[in-house]
Chains A and B, each alone.
Chain A
Amino acid sequence: MPAQVITITSGKGGVGKTTAVANLAVALASNGSKVVCIDGDIGLRNLDVILGLENRIVYDIVDVIEGRCRLKQAMIRDKKLPNLYLIPAAQTRDKNAVSPSDMTRLIKELRAGYDFVLIDSPAGIERGFRNAIAAADRVLVITNPEVSAVRDADRVIGILEAEEKGPAALIINRLNPNLVKKHDMLSADDVLDLLAVELIGIVPEDENVIIGSNRGAPVAHDTKSKAGQAFRNIARRLQGETVPFLDLESQGSLWERLQRLTGRK
């Protein structure tokens, strides 16, 4: 079967696109899929450090497009997962070094040999974003439960519909269940009400995400982390499984927690 090409985008910067791509790539690869992830943020390369592969880069995506190396030479194999590869962004060039048709051509070459191609889009709705969605079969929009991120997500979802790249699926990232309970953060239902798109995952705020980034080992490797669990669930949904959404209200009373532990709730 040819690869599914999935782009992760957000409109607003800093909501967790790169972290999501790294974690989904790790989770998909750990679950047996052959995965290539592409850093689409030319000039602001980051996916390499999040995956812990920054010391292995020789060639980048612009080298491939401009014919200085073969595609295989720019693909860096992950340290732990032999079926996970990264194509890094160029650091010394800008987004105009790549065009949407360059991306489509490059991805066409990848489709046959892999199960998933994940593309990390830059923030914004300009050239870099257009490059990132050009060859996508499916687009995941990631947002935080926060006014500016939701507003920008809505803009991006509208553009994707107009470009016939929709319907987009939504990841709500960095949800803080305690704040939601105090009615001081938009709930997942609020965000879905506002954006009216399909939900593919809710990722709770989790300090292990930062720890993972520090080490270059995405949190999806960590079986105890809640955010890691959420990313692994999204990966399984992408692989076609039906996985129930995490119960994030686990800071409930001791009694409720006991009931859940004994499987009564």
Chain B
Amino acid sequence: MSFFDRLFGRKNSAESAKERLQLVLIHDRTDLTPAELDSLKDDLIAAISRHVEIDAKSMQIGVEHDGRSQRLVADIPIKSAPRRRARKTK
């Protein structure tokens, strides 16, 4: 990496290799493309919304790895019940 790369804040090449590989390996290991992950996310929103009101906009879903095993991690904020009730009574 040259002095100028560092000066202009460009990422060093080993770092980009590692980041790119992290993403590629997740997809290789799970056979899940980003598009499939998106459609999975839509299905999840639909299923959960039938039971509880969620904040679909701030929902996060991704694949994390722990050693050689992958897990699907979803962070789904639920809208608070008192606020929902208050809205209904209005």
Contact = CB atoms under 8 A, between A and B. Distances in A.
Interface of B: prevailing SS:
helix
A194 interface: yes
B33 interface: no
Contact of A151 (B1, B15, B21, B65): B21
Interface string A172-216: 000000001011111100100111110000000000000000000
Nearest to B2: A182
Interface in B23-70: 24-25, 28-29, 65, 67-68
A170 to B, nearest CB: 12
Contact of B17 (A147, A158, A195, A196): A147
Contacts of A157: 68
B72 interface: no
- Please tell me the size bucket of the interface on B: 10 to 19
B83 interface: no
Nearest to B11: A183
Interface residues of A, number: 22
Given A183-B1, A184-B1, A197-B68, A151 B24 contact: yes
B67 A196 contact: yes
B18 A190 contact: yes
B88 interface: no
A155 interface: yes
Contact of A186 (B18, B24, B65, B67): B18
B81 interface: no
Nearest to B67: A196
B68 A190 contact: no
Nearest to B22: A194
Contacts of B65: 196
B68 A184 contact: no
B25 A187 contact: no
A182 B24 CA distance: 24
A169 to B, nearest CB: 13
Contacts of B17: 146-147, 186, 190
B80 interface: no
Contacts of A158: 28-29, 68
A72 to B, nearest CB: 41
Given A183-B15, A184-B14, A190-B14, 7 more contacts: A147-B17, A147-B20, A151-B28, A183-B12, A183-B14, A196-B67, A197-B68
A-B CB proximity, top 5 nearest:
A183-B12, A196-B67, A183-B14, A196-B68, A184-B13
Interface of A: 146-147, 150-151, 154-155, 157-158, 161, 180, 182-187, 190, 193-197
Interface of B: 1, 12-15, 17-18, 20-22, 24-25, 28-29, 65, 67-68
